[in-house]
Amino acid sequence: MQVRKITVCGGGNGAQALVPIAAHNVGCPVDLYAPHADEAERIRAGSADHGGIEVTGAVQAKARPRRTSANRACQPRVLGAYPAPPVRHAP
């Protein structure tokens, strides 16, 4: 199965780090669904100002989300990634 698009849900650190990693490793467009307050607008502006979102370390990648939106139409239809904050990792 070829992945044609990935939607990352959330606007936190994990979600923002996943955008360039997914774009780099899978090689398909990545949308970012950030529904809280003005999250989508802040991420969109920051990404435009810096030419994308960049991660460094084990993975070196930089990419701009194809679409950053608070609109529910951006939500995934088949597969989405939902990074959880560390407090959610506890048993």
Q: How many CA atoms lie within 13 A of 14 on its CB side?
A: 12
Q: In the predicted model, what is the mean pLDDT of residues 75-91?
A: 63
Rg (CA), the chain: 13
**pLDDT tens per residue across span 34-47:** 988 899 999 999 99
Helix, strand or coil, per DSSP, at residue 49: helix
Q: Where are the domains of the chain?
A: 6-85
Asked if 53 contacts 22 with a C-beta cutoff of 8 angstroms, the reply is: no
Q: State the pLDDT at residue 89.
A: 54
Q: What is the pTM of this model?
A: 0.80
